[in-house]
Each structure stands twice: as structure tokens, then as C-alpha cells.
Amino acid sequence: MSDNRHPGRNIVLTGFHLAGKTTVGRELARRMRRPLVDLPTEVERRQRSLLSPFTRRPSDNEAERRIVSDIASRREVIIATGADTLLREWNADELRVFSFLVFLDPPFEMLCRRAQSKRFSHPALGPFSLDEAFQPWQERRQAYEHCDLQLTDGASTPELTARLVLHCFYT
């Protein structure tokens, strides 16, 4: 795949938990022969501690900000973010400079099926509740409107999603 149209641009995948950011990121990285940076894993690796969005410390945001700044300055990287990374404006601004932002937004019902199949639960609240999750999901979707591409078809395979992203930015 040629990068002649937008040489050096990164592709940042963002979205909710279980939206497929890392899976699609692996496929994009394979197709484009680029490295994949899984941001939550990189933050964890650099901090040498397991971070959970439910147990974040104030210093975690600053550490993530430094790591995002470092990664954003690289070229030709596929970046899979944490579910809330781009909700912090400084991260979105930093990544937007040299990257295309892609919001993976499968239907709510699909996210719920994935969460239930993985027995997802919130440590503070207990098991995943569909009724409690719908309103925050709907509100948070609006925060991703600044992305360059929003993909809402959760029925696509990671391979088809990667092809669509490449088609949108590199053909």
C-alpha cells in the first residue's frame, strides 16, 4: 500500500471498550507494514503498573499525556488508544497534528454482546448493566465528533474495516 497521498501520517483508532481498536490496529499495521502502538499497554509498560480507568491517580493523566506526546511525534505508526484517551482534549490535540483520527463506533447492542461474552464488569459497580450503560454511551459518542472518520458498522470484520480505513485515506 502506497502512502504517497499522505506520507508520514499516523492512524489513530479510538472508541469505546471492546470496539475493536487493537484488533483493527493489528490488521492495519500488517497491511501497511507499520508498527502498532497499543497506548494502554504502552502506558502500563512505561509506568510499570497496571492502570485501570477505575483506579486512575491524578499523576496517571500527566504520565499518559507525556507518552501521547512522545508517540504522536512519531511518523507512520498505527495507534490504538484507550477508550477515554481522546476524551482528554490535550491528547486529541496532540494526536491530531500528524494523525488521522478514526472512531470505531459499533452499535450499542454489539458492544453489549461483546461485554457480556467477556463477562465485563466494572470493579466499583459490579456486573455490566445495559440500562445504566446506555445513557453514558450515548453522551460520550458526541465527544468523538471531531474524528476524521467515524465507522458505525459493527458487522464488518477487522479486515474489511482496515480496508475501508485505507481506502478513505490512501486511495
* pLDDT tens sequence for the chain (171 residues): 444 556 678 999 999 888 899 999 999 999 999 999 999 888 878 776 554 555 555 556 777 888 888 888 888 999 999 888 888 888 888 998 889 999 998 888 887 777 777 665 555 445 556 677 777 778 788 888 889 999 988 778 899 999 999 999 987
**Strand duo 126-127 + 121-122: pairing:** antiparallel
For residues 36 and 25, is the Cβ–Cβ distance under 8 A? Answer: yes
Nearest to 103 by CA among 14, 9, 22, 3: 14
- pTM, two decimals, is 0.81
Residue 7 cell numbers, joined = 506520507
Please state the domain extents for the chain. Answer: 10-170
Rounded to 10°, the helix 39-47/58-72 angle is 120
Q: Phi then psi for 39, rounded to 5 degrees?
A: -55, -45
Q: Are strands 10-15 and 99-104 parallel, antiparallel or unpaired?
A: parallel
- Tell which CATH classification among 3.40.50.261, 3.40.50.300, 3.90.25.10, 3.90.1150.10 matches the domain 10-170: 3.40.50.300
Residues 78/120, Cβ–Cβ less than 8 Å: no
- Return the C-alpha cell found at 2: 502506497
